[in-house]
Amino acid sequence: MNLRDQVLEGKIPNHVAIIMDGNRRWAKKKNLPVAMGHREGVKRIMEIVETAADVGINNLTVYAFSTENWGREKTEVDCLMSLLIEFLKKELNRIIKNNIKLNLIGRIEDLPNNVREEVKSAIDATKDNKRFNLNIALSYGGRDEIVTAVKNIVKDVENNEINIDNLNEENFKNYLFTKNSMDPDFLIRTSGEVRISNFLLYQLAYTEFYFTDVLWPDFKETEFFKAILEYQKRNRRFGKQ
């Protein structure tokens, strides 16, 4: 039985999150410019999206660019922004054809004007799609998300729009960047790093983690299925047993 059929026999996660790590190391191993590693990494995104949708996963959140990544060399940041625009222009018709809804989580206002407009246009073009949600974490940081949520709650309390005594976990989520998304069932991180790097700090409370040494540009369908098969072995108890 092939890996896809094995996956289909088990419980399919509703929401998978991925920290796409290892592009620079992939390029270095091959004596290529860093930009080539990022370009190869971008190719994996739609491959994994289509693979995930094919087996019945409904949501995929990918960590594309963190708030900390703004501190990288300007040439690398400019390269990443250009690749994002290229990705959206090249893949938008494919995204629409596959009935995929594109969402952004993070500080869209931090993006360069041309990138921001391209992202907004893609989000608008896919807003009515219902088969699959692709959430791109862009200029995103988990701590920043929580602090921003607290600031907005304080404003709403001061404006009498919310009673602080009525605040609970469910309505707190409405102040997060991910307010329209369910928490991930499964987190995958590539490249051998075993940390979550300020990603979805609130949302990952009961998420199952999977770490692999495979670098993101090499993380193709087979590796994705291996990860899902590992998830299917887990017993998610949510602290109840």
Q: Which residues are catalytic?
A: 21, 69
> In the 3-class helix/strand/coil scheme, how is 49-69 assigned residue by residue?
HHHHHHCCCCEEEEEEEEHHH
Biggest CA pair distance of the chain = 60
Instruction: Decide if 47 contacts 220 (C-beta within 8 A).
Output: yes
Q: How far apart are CA 87 and CA 40, in angstroms?
A: 11
Tell me which residue of 138, 146, 122, 18 sits closest to 70, measured CA to CA: 138
Q: Take residue 176 and report the two structure tokens written for it.
A: 């997060």
CA dihedral of 20, 23, 29, 33, whole degrees rounded to 10: 180
Instruction: Decide if 68 contacts 51 (C-beta within 8 A).
Output: no
